Amino acid sequence: MGTANAMSARSLQFYVIARRWASDLEFFDIEIAFLHRLIDDYFIALSSRKYFEALRPVGKNLLKLEEDRSRLASLLAKQLKQVELMAEDVIPENSEDLAVNQVHLEQLMTNLTFDYRNVKKVLFALVEHVMRDYKMLNNIRAN
């Protein structure tokens, strides 16, 4: 970002918040990759009749989560670019447009976080059941 001195405190605040969200999205990338590896590692057990019906919505929700994350990243990049151009005096500062976009981005970020937590919670519960079943099966075999 160029010379931020001429920008209003409000626009600068929007920039800082948007940068934090961009960092959060990078973390989501790591977490989503982890969830995919978790599904891959337990795929055979999760594909059994006992778990398949519960796994299907998790897969759909994970795909939707990735699509929402991608869409949000694109909108966030546009917001950051606009603030950077304002800071460099390439375009005039328009705090009102930034505010409208910021509110929309905040709603999307809140929804993404909520949806991610739900997908993670359901997937972890499924994997926990699979692990418990596997442990019981191994205990039965050992006896």
Provide the residue ranges of all domains of the chain, joining segments of one domain with +.
4-142
Residue 73's pLDDT is 97
In this prediction, residues 89-118 reach a mean pLDDT of: 94
Residue 127's pLDDT is 95
- Asked whether residue 125 carries a pLDDT value surpassing 80, the answer given is yes
Mean of the per-residue pLDDT values for the chain? 90
Q: How confident is the model over 31-53, as pLDDT tens digits?
A: 999 999 999 999 999 889 889 89
Nearest to 101 by CA among 78, 70, 71: 78
Residue 93's pLDDT is 87
Distance, in Å, from the CA atom of 69 to the CA atom of 62, rounded to the nearest integer, reads 10
Residue 4's pLDDT is 46
Contact 65, 120 (CB under 8 A): no
Assign 1 a pLDDT band (cuts: 50, 70, 90). Answer: very low
Assign 124 a pLDDT band (cuts: 50, 70, 90). Answer: very high
Query: Could you tell me what percent of the chain has a pLDDT over 70?
Result: 94
- Asked whether residue 59 carries a pLDDT value surpassing 90, the answer given is yes
Contact 83, 123 (CB under 8 A): no
Distance, in Å, from the CA atom of 35 to the CA atom of 41, rounded to the nearest integer, reads 10
| Integer CA distances (angstroms), 70 to 25, 65, 66, 134, in order | 9, 9, 6, 36
Distance, in Å, from the CA atom of 85 to the CA atom of 3, rounded to the nearest integer, reads 10
In this prediction, residues 64-70 reach a mean pLDDT of: 97
Distance, in Å, from the CA atom of 106 to the CA atom of 58, rounded to the nearest integer, reads 24
